[in-house]
Structure 1
Amino acid sequence: MRILHTSDWHVGKVLKGRDRREEHRRVLAQVIEIAQAERPDLVIVAGDLYDTAAPTAEATKLVTRALSALRRTGARVVAIGGNHDNGQALDALRPWADAAGIELRGSFDNPRDLLIEGTTEGGERWRLVALPFLSQRYAVRAVEMYDLTEAESNQTYADLIARLIGKLSEPFTEPGVVNLITSHLTMVGASTGGGEREAHTIMGYAVPATVFPQNTHYVALGHLHRSQRVIAPCPVRYSGSPLAIDFGEEENVCSVAIVDVGVDKAAQVRDVPVTSALTLRTVRGTLEQLATVNLPEAWLRVLVREAPRPGLREDVQELLPNALEVRIDPDMLPDRTGARAAERSGRSPRELFGDYLDSRGNAEEGVRELFDELYDEVSSNQ
């Protein structure tokens, strides 16, 4: 059988204040084109369909239309909730999903519902354990978290995930069936993509690859935005995000995974690039050097090698209209971290703000006086 594995769409993502709706339309259209060309039996979307737990109506329309279009290719479609998704809100879409022939799993309300079975047109049977993202706070009861050390709490979460997978995968012992798992997890030893939500990728959420049974034919993961294989007792892979979510991901190769696997055939994976989104690039230099940059098809993070001054950001954006973030190059700033920490002790907000301006070399007339006015106004209101 053939699987198209994708994840971490993050529809609704705003990058430094810039709406990326049109990019998401193009990216998902390309994913659909890949599905039409590759003719998979099964499409797996391994979580984070949305960037926020409260997606807009436009974002919901884009995601539901994309899932419907993937279903119209003839493939079974399974999508699970990620840490950015609202699991209960996804479950509320189940009547629509069921009518459209789409398997949508947002939360753990009914664990028996997390085992999905099917048969390909060629008659090959498959079985999929579909595990949405599970919060550590939900998985490990509050009283246990207070009584446990950090290491014990981390291990408790990993043990719970292992028990869940072990229980749901008990039918994997039946011969003649392709055994599959999809989940939204951080695996020990895997590399982050650069734009993930840090609170949900720290060690408290990391689980070892040994949670997956050896008789699993393929594990389709979401959560980490970099396409990668994970060393495990069975084939385990992150598909990565089909577009770079933030500037920390500018070196990632955006793609979806095409997997050919059978009962007696080891999983063979091909990454198919997705190139419809604008690239993200970091450039640095003086204004004179930045004037030579020619990257019209990229969103830019600009590190300016100039002394701070009023109007510098506007000058950069006049040269580079696609500059979403403009900062002074950190190499241009003095490293006074330790000294400043000692100096801050017992100092007033006015003095601390003055220290900040001094550290940035900002001597614009009136800034200190304006801060004093604002501080007095806030203090009076309080």
Structure 2
Amino acid sequence: MRILHTSDWHIGRSFHGHSTLDALRGVLERLADQVRENDVDVVIVAGDVFDSAAPAAACYSLLTDTLAALSASGAQIIVTSGNHDSAARLGFQAALLRDGIHVVTDPLTVGIPITIADAHGPVHFYGIPFLEPALVRHLWPDAGLRSQHATIAHAMGLVRADLEARGGRSVAIAHCFAAGVEATAGVEREIRQGSLDVVALSAFDGPDYVALGHIHGRQQLSDRVRYAGAPLHYSFGEGDKPRGSWLVDLDADGLSSVTWLDLPVPRSLKTLRGTLDELLTDERFTDSEQAWVCAQYTDATPQLDPMRRLQARYPFCATVMHTPEGRRADDGLTYSRRVRAARSDAELVDAFLIHVREGEGASEHEARIVRDVIDERSLAEARA
């Protein structure tokens, strides 16, 4: 049996205020082509189909079109809900879907497989929707579910118990943060914000393959436990990570091989660093002019209207950051001491600029403007 493992489509997510629907549509169309070209039997979508619990109408249209294209290729499809999905909205018409499309959102179905046969016999697919411990512990009151690890471990215990009774080959599908993930793998927003709840790798013992979602970068935790990551780049931190899916082959004895299928990147992501003048003129940045750009300008002081100026060269500049290189040496003087030491209005202005610009006083051009303004004021006072 040939399986394609994908996840974290996040239909409806924006990228720094820009819609990603058209780009994602093109990528998912290519994924459907790959399913057909590689004679895939089963497509797994391991959670976070949508980016929010209440997606816009256009998001449902994209999901419908993609599922139809995948189904038309002859593959069966198994979709589980992630933490971004509303299980109710994603699964409300699961019973009405065409044959071969399975949507798993009900925690009470954990341990009940979707069984699909090939020439070697049945393969049992155990879908585990995202299980928030606080929301599901009442379903298993004796299990003491206080963490994601405890919850997934309990769910996998149900899977193993059913599998022991049935026998045969099996695949588990879950949406969680598993131990061993690299810190730079494209970590979900909630994890980066501190809600880290790690599931030990041993929790996934048993099945021939474990298809995980939740991490946006490709990860191989073992030969049989993997993340496919998201099909699009959703942050600049993911910019150097490949996009794609895992092509998993099962033979009569279980896992046979796993290979990576690349997906196209509609627009590359580049993080550029230099002074604002360098970013606007330097030829070494020419190949980034049509990329999504995160511009980090290193001038000592904030510059005027940097986004507008940068977008003249980089029309897809999405974010601008002021990241000055180093800090000027502290001379130990407080602002009040500088003010008291000023012997003229020009020195008083310079003391203020040093205070608010991290040690940088007036430039030669600025000092000339200050002198002109002071001279004009003195002349006006003399005439009065």
Q: Which category describes the TM-score, using the shorter chain as reference length?
A: 0.7 to 0.9
2:152 to 148, 155, 161: 161
Task: Report the counterpart of residue 79 of structure 1 in structure 2.
Answer: 79
Aligned counterparts of 2:29 and 2:257: Cα–Cα separation in 1: 25
Task: Report the counterpart of residue 298 of structure 1 in structure 2.
Answer: 291
Aligned counterparts of 1:274 and 1:198: Cα–Cα separation in 2: 26
Moved more, 162-171 or 253-262: 162-171
Aligned counterparts of 2:221 and 2:276: Cα–Cα separation in 1: 43
Aligned counterparts of 1:205 and 1:6: Cα–Cα separation in 2: 22
For the Cα contact (< 8 Å) 1:176–1:263, is it kept in 2?
A: no
Deviation by residue 1:310-362 (Cα, 9 ceiling, x = unmatched)? 322221221211110011125366799xxxxxxxxxxxxxxxxx99x936889
Report how far residue 176 of structure 1 moved: 6.4
Task: State the structure with more CA Rg.
Answer: 2
TM (norm. structure 1) is 0.78
Change (3 A) 1:335 1:325: farther
What stretches of structure 2 of length at least 5 have no aligned partner? 331-351, 363-384
Alignment size in residue pairs: 329
Task: Report the counterpart of residue 105 of structure 1 in structure 2.
Answer: 104
Aligned counterparts of 2:253 and 2:329: Cα–Cα separation in 1: 59
Aligned counterparts of 2:135 and 2:361: Cα–Cα separation in 1: 47
Change (3 A) 1:311 1:113: same
1:358 to 351, 356, 359: 356
Task: Report the counterpart of residue 115 of structure 2 in structure 1.
Answer: 117
Letter in 1 for 2:189: R
TM (norm. structure 2) is 0.78
Task: Report the counterpart of residue 7 of structure 2 in structure 1.
Answer: 7
1:133 to 130, 135, 140: 130
Task: Report the counterpart of residue 249 of structure 2 in structure 1.
Answer: 260
Change (3 A) 1:212 1:57: same
For the Cα contact (< 8 Å) 1:13–1:51, is it kept in 2?
A: yes
Report how far residue 174 of structure 1 moved: 5.4
Task: Report the counterpart of residue 19 of structure 2 in structure 1.
Answer: 19
Deviation by residue 1:65-117 (Cα, 9 ceiling, x = unmatched)? 11121111111100011111111111113144x33531011232x32685211
2:201 to 195, 209, 228: 209
Aligned counterparts of 2:136 and 2:192: Cα–Cα separation in 1: 13
Aligned counterparts of 1:77 and 1:362: Cα–Cα separation in 2: 64
Aligned counterparts of 2:302 and 2:110: Cα–Cα separation in 1: 60
2:258 to 269, 274, 286: 269
1:196 to 188, 192, 197: 188
1:257 alignment partner, SS class: strand
Letter in 1 for 2:48: D
Letter in 1 for 2:204: F
Moved more, 278-287 or 111-120: 111-120
Task: Report the counterpart of residue 37 of structure 2 in structure 1.
Answer: 37
Task: Report the counterpart of residue 366 of structure 2 in structure 1.
Answer: none
1:160 alignment partner, SS class: helix
Task: Report the counterpart of residue 329 of structure 1 in structure 2.
Answer: 323
1:90 alignment partner, SS class: helix
Change (3 A) 1:186 1:219: same
Q: Give yes or no for the alignment of 1:289 onto 2:278.
A: yes
For the Cα contact (< 8 Å) 2:170–2:208, is it kept in 1?
A: yes
Letter in 2 for 1:99: R
Aligned counterparts of 2:211 and 2:312: Cα–Cα separation in 1: 44
1:99 alignment partner, SS class: coil
Aligned counterparts of 2:216 and 2:315: Cα–Cα separation in 1: 27
Report how far residue 45 of structure 1 moved: 0.4
Aligned counterparts of 1:30 and 1:74: Cα–Cα separation in 2: 16
1:32 alignment partner, SS class: helix
Moved more, 308-317 or 47-56: 308-317
Aligned counterparts of 2:122 and 2:329: Cα–Cα separation in 1: 61
> What is the root-mean-square deviation of aligned Cα atoms in Å?
3.0
Task: Report the counterpart of residue 317 of structure 1 in structure 2.
Answer: 311
Report how far residue 264 of structure 1 moved: 1.1
Report how far residue 123 of structure 1 moved: 5.2
Report how far residue 309 of structure 1 moved: 2.8
For the Cα contact (< 8 Å) 1:191–1:226, is it kept in 2?
A: no
Aligned counterparts of 1:362 and 1:43: Cα–Cα separation in 2: 62
Change (3 A) 1:46 1:199: same
Moved more, 272-281 or 289-298: 289-298
Aligned counterparts of 2:68 and 2:54: Cα–Cα separation in 1: 21
Report how far residue 168 of structure 1 moved: 2.6
Change (3 A) 1:168 1:335: farther
Aligned counterparts of 1:43 and 1:335: Cα–Cα separation in 2: 59
Aligned counterparts of 2:193 and 2:227: Cα–Cα separation in 1: 14
Aligned counterparts of 2:47 and 2:204: Cα–Cα separation in 1: 18
For the Cα contact (< 8 Å) 1:115–1:129, is it kept in 2?
A: yes
Aligned counterparts of 1:250 and 1:224: Cα–Cα separation in 2: 14
1:169 alignment partner, SS class: helix
Aligned counterparts of 1:333 and 1:297: Cα–Cα separation in 2: 33
Task: Report the counterpart of residue 381 of structure 2 in structure 1.
Answer: none
